[in-house]
Amino acid sequence: MVLATPNPILRGEKVEANIELPTIDLLGERSEVSRQIVKACEEFGFFKVVNHGVPHDIISKMEEESLSFFSKPEAQKQLAGPAKPFGYGCKTIGFNGDMGEVEYILLNTHPLSIAHHSKTISSNNPTKFSFTVSWYIEAVKGLACEILDLMADGLRVSDTKLFSRLIKDSDSDSLFRLNHYPNNDYCSKDRDTSSPLPPYDHSRVGFGEHSDPQILTLLRSNDVGGLQISLDDNVWVPVAPDPTAFCVNVGDVLQAMTNGRFVSVRHRAIVTNSHKSRLSMAYFAAPALNALISVPKEVVTAEKPRLYRPFTWAEYKRTTYSLRLGDTRLNLFRIC
Ligand code: GA4
């Protein structure tokens, strides 16, 4: 990890330019891989996986379908919206007034839900869209399960399938999100183009800072940057884009299930001044609504007593949706 002198940015924020996320090679020796994953989740809450086994073909087909949708005229895209709860959304995020410079498709990963929404997202070939999404989701779900099992191993949890079982449940409430952030050509319409832009303009937030509520997030982005993670208050670390890798992060539920050993870190997406738009595809692995979030005995000790009260995913989700994007929620479930 290389630490650089922080650059002062707007509103007292700092961006640490040269911190690199831990990179985990899934072809490595199993016990070493699980040790590295645990370390990354404790220190960063984020890591990159390479040699992940998700076929390139699946990723590029999903990217193609996404770009073909986002390149449609706005009026046509609106037919697949609003994303309340699922479908196409533009600029508005959630239900409580959050906004960002982003357009997106949000889907529940249940096959019937995908098939239903594909009819409006891709009216000319819904079967193809639905097939591509289902194919992509099956592949990333497999990767998520593999990573969750490695985590359980690394934490010495005897029930090694404890985490992955939650997302394998056919009633799992996992989500899939396609985010499309505007490019520089889009913003140059309203600005003085005579002076060059800095690589990032922090007044242009694509997706504001937040933590992910679920268990685990697997994000694949194209070669345009914008993702930043918050390691300390007001210090933001840009994540260099790597289309060959998946960026994995711990969600709030996994922080609770590991009794705070793993951290669900706040992150955001900034609109970069690239001529190409950023496309990211996020799989949010979640339990079923009625699942009780339990803490394995191995992570509760005399020195580290239980941090959170038991709750169901439905209860946690309800709290999440009653709050704003940037609000912290897991603290509300803490045992004082
Ligand atoms: C953040 C992570 C996922 O994108 C998401 C988001 C959800 C939404 O866009 O509808 C939320 C946000 C996310 C957390 C707080 C609430 C809910 C918007 C919002 C203001 C799909 C999710 O699960 O939680």
Q: Identify the weakest region by mean pLDDT among 4-8, 88-92, 95-99, 192-196.
A: 4-8
Residue whose CA is at the smallest distance from ligand 1 atom 7: 94
Phi, psi torsion values for 96, nearest 5 degrees:
-120, 35
User: What is the mean pLDDT of the segment spanning 79-87?
Assistant: 95
Q: Which helix (H) or strand (E) holds 176?
A: strand 175-181
User: Above pLDDT 70, what percent of the chain?
Assistant: 90
Contact 206/183 with Cβ under 8 angstroms? no
Are the CB atoms for 144 and 285 separated by under 8 Å? yes
Lowest pLDDT segment from 8-22, 51-65, 99-113, 214-228:
8-22
CB neighbours of 193 closer than 8 A, spacing ≥ 6? none
Q: Which of 103, 105, 210, 289 to mutate to test the pocket of ligand 1 (most atoms within 8 A of CB)?
A: 210
- In short, whether 85's Cβ falls inside 6 Å of ligand 1 is no
Task: Round to whole Å and give the CA distance between 102 and 131.
Answer: 25
Residue 200 has, within 13 A of its CA and on its CB side, a CA count of 26
Ligand 1, from 104, 320, 327: best to mutate by most atoms within 8 Å of Cβ? Answer: 320
Residue ranges per structural domain of the chain: 14-190+199-333
> Which residue in the list 165, 278, 309, 324 is annotated as catalytic?
278
Cα 94 to ligand 1 centroid, rounded to whole Å? 6
Among the listed residues 32, 65, 237, the one whose alpha carbon sits nearest the alpha carbon of residue 136: 65
Pick the CATH number of 14-190+199-333 from 3.40.225.10, 2.60.120.330, 3.40.50.150, 3.30.300.30: 2.60.120.330
| pTM score, whole prediction | 0.93
Task: Identify the pLDDT of residue 203.
Answer: 60
Q: Is 165 a catalytic residue?
A: no
Q: What is the mean pLDDT of residues 270-298?
A: 94
Residue type, 49: V
- pLDDT attached to residue 133: 98
pLDDT in tens, 92-130: 999 999 999 999 999 999 999 999 999 999 988 999 999
Distances in Å between the Cα of 264 and the Cα atoms of 63, 283, 330 are 27, 16, 9
Residue type, 233: D
At 8 the pLDDT is 39
How far does residue 144's CA lie from ligand 1's centre (Å)? 19
Query: Who wins on pLDDT, 204 or 27?
Result: 27
Torsion sign across C-alpha atoms 50, 56, 61, 64:
positive
Confidence of residue 19 (pLDDT cuts 50, 70, 90): confident
How large is the average pLDDT for residues 70-78? 96
Identify residue 324 by its one-letter amino acid code.
Answer: R
For residue range 132-149, list pLDDT tens digits in order. Answer: 999 999 999 999 999 999
- Beta strand 14-15 with 235-238 is parallel
Task: Please give the pLDDT value at position 193.
Answer: 53
CB of residue 94 inside a 6 A radius of ligand 1: yes
Task: Say if ligand 1 is within 6 A of residue 176 CB.
Answer: no
